[in-house]
Amino acid sequence: MVAVAILAAGRGTRMKSHLPKVLHPLGGRSLVERVLQSLAEIQPSRQLIIVGYRSDLVQEALSPYPDLEFVEQTEQLGTGHAVQQLLSPLVDFEGDLLVLNGDVPLLRPQTLKSLLHTHQTKQNAATILTAQLPDPKGYGRVFCDGQNIVTQIVEDRDCTAAQKQNRRINAGVYCFRWADLSRVLPQLQSNNDQQEYYLTDTVSILEPVMAVDVEDHQEILGINDRKQLANAYSILQTRVKDDWMKAGVTLIDPDSTTIDDTVQLQPDVIVEPQTHLRGKTLIQAGSRIGPGSLIENSQIGENVTVLYSVVTDSTVAANTRIGPYAHLRGQVQVGDGCRIGNFVELKKTTLGDRTNVAHLSYLGDTTTGERVNVGAGTITANYDGVNKHPTQIGDRTKTGSNSVLVAPITVGADVNIAAGSTVTEDVPNDCLVIARARQVVKPGWRLKSRSEEPPQ
């Protein structure tokens, strides 16, 4: 049996933030959520999380995880003190305890699985994840005898100059045989530089404790300050982008592109420079996104192009062309083979197949049929200052340039609206609507010049 404990009670002083450190976002997910994700290959029988600083916020942020047991550490007296809080909730527990720091967000699920496997097959009292770092500053140093048997861990601030030369560091990821750990936890002392109870001191008492080096040392990066947070983001991005390139996606300029790891891309998608793909976004095969585009929480069909545009919370069917400079937001649904052109904003609007909104328009709360042509500068006046109202436009209808459709309004199919019309009443099928003042021409009329005026 395996239980998991995540240490997330600290404030994270070095972040210089009011937000608890483990709630800081990293690529659309909080640090602690990323730690939870890294458990994907393990089926723990219990998951405990130690909370303290602003535990109300941490509990609220983790409310979508019903299996988590929250354990309160009211005073944060160190990582050892944090794990001491488990003595009571795990009093009857028999098995292994996997302990993870809540600020180590880049661990791969496979790494934890194999650490646990080694721990169980070797029947160690504890097995800890270590790494050989080019720059080990800030981490606890791990001292071993020849066979990777750990003798002690010394925190960076407690190291002598000679001990600091050791580049093997503690990742903050441990498997413990709970029966052994629970026996030694009460013996911890706080005689160190920080006057804290260190979980790492248990390794000098337990026997045997084995160190296992992680293959890719970027995985164990701990986040203590904003610089490490930015560094973790760039590692995560490199990982995500490398995976998509391997899967058949072209990234023209990976360095200027960001892709959340919640995004799905199909082969032969081309992502142009300065493009950002976020949230629950799917882009289907053959589509070309960018340059200069942001797609968030949206589904983009096959062979779509999106040029210098922003698409959020929307769905676009195949073969549609968007941009440059279009903005789709708030549950827009665009049909197959449409064209959304320059300086067009669509909000909560559904466009039937082969409909064009090619220039300078705003459509809000609008539903169109198929093969509609929305003329340049057409605006739906959907807001009366209090409420939003819908506009319906039937199949094959053409709105003239600069028409205003004052909602609520229904315009039938096969209608032509004359340029410059302000349409305020419903329009039946199959007609021409002209809703503007008729042009007046006055022959021979001209402004009299001053010289022609009679003297005063």
Query: Residues with catalytic annotation?
Result: 359
Looking at 103, 201, 219, 260, which residue binds Ca ion (CB under 5 A)? 103
Looking at 55, 170, 287, 320, which residue binds ligand UD1 (CB under 6 A)? 170
Question: 448, exposed or middle or buried, with CB in 10 Å at 0-12, 13-18, 19+?
Answer: exposed
Nearest C-alpha neighbor of 106 from the set 211, 16, 240, 226: 240
Q: Is the CB of 136 or the CB of 377 nearer to Ca ion?
A: 136
Looking at 49, 82, 379, 427, which residue binds ligand UD1 (CB under 6 A)? 82
Q: Is 79 in the site for ligand UD1 (CB under 6 A)?
A: yes
Q: Tell me how far, at minimum, the Cβ of 12 lies from Ca ion, in Å.
A: 8
Q: What x/- string results for residues 222 through 261 when contact with ligand UD1 is judged by CB under 6 A?
A: x-x-------------------------------------
Structure tokens at 383: 């807001």
Q: Is the torsion defined by CA of 56, 58, 59, 64 positive or negative? A: positive
- Mind giving me the DSSP string for 299-339? EE-TT-EE-S-EEES-EE-TT-EE-SSEEEESS-EE-TT-E
Site for Ca ion in 213-252 (CB under 5 A): 222, 224
Q: How many residues bind Ca ion (CB under 5 A)?
A: 3
Q: Is the CB of 173 or the CB of 334 nearer to Ca ion?
A: 173
- Cα–Cα distances (Å) from 172 to 124, 355, 407, in that order, read 17, 56, 60
Looking at 17, 37, 59, 76, which residue binds ligand UD1 (CB under 6 A)? 76
Q: Is 77 in the site for ligand UD1 (CB under 6 A)?
A: yes
The CA distance from 370 to 25, in Å, is 42
Q: Is the CB of 125 or the CB of 307 nearer to ligand UD1?
A: 125
Q: Is the CB of 73 or the CB of 182 nearer to ligand UD1?
A: 73
By a kind-dependent CB cut-off of 5 to 8 A, residue 200 interacts, out of ligand UD1, Ca ion, none, with ligand UD1
At 111, which helix (H) or strand (E)? Answer: helix 109-122
Q: Tell me how far, at minimum, the Cβ of 73 lies from ligand UD1, in Å.
A: 5
Segment interacting with ligand UD1, rule: CB under 6 A, options 75-83, 242-250, 308-316, 340-348: 75-83
Structure tokens at 412: 């039938």
The CA distance from 130 to 150, in Å, is 10
Q: Tell me how far, at minimum, the Cβ of 7 lies from ligand UD1, in Å.
A: 3
* Cα–Cα–Cα angle for 191, 197, 203, rounded to 5 degrees: 95
Looking at 36, 62, 78, 326, which residue binds ligand UD1 (CB under 6 A)? 78
Q: Is 136 in the site for Ca ion (CB under 5 A)?
A: no
> Residue 267, SS3?
coil
The CA distance from 141 to 241, in Å, is 32
Q: Tell me how far, at minimum, the Cβ of 139 lies from Ca ion, in Å.
A: 8
Q: How many residues bind ligand UD1 (CB under 6 A)?
A: 30
Q: Is 196 in the site for Ca ion (CB under 5 A)?
A: no
Residue 214 neighbours by CB under 8 Å, 6+ apart: 111, 129, 130, 131, 171, 220
Side by side, the strands of the sheet bearing 282-283 are 264-265, 282-283, 299-300, 315-316, 333-334, 350-351, 366-368, 391-393, 409-411
Q: Is the CB of 33 or the CB of 103 nearer to Ca ion?
A: 103
Looking at 2, 50, 229, 372, which residue binds ligand UD1 (CB under 6 A)? 50
Task: Phi first, then psi: give them for residue 203, nearest 5 degrees.
Answer: -70, -20
Contacting positions for Ca ion (CB under 5 A): 103, 222, 224
Contacting positions for ligand UD1 (CB under 6 A): 7-10, 22, 50, 73, 76-79, 81-82, 101-104, 139-140, 153, 155, 169-172, 198-200, 222, 224
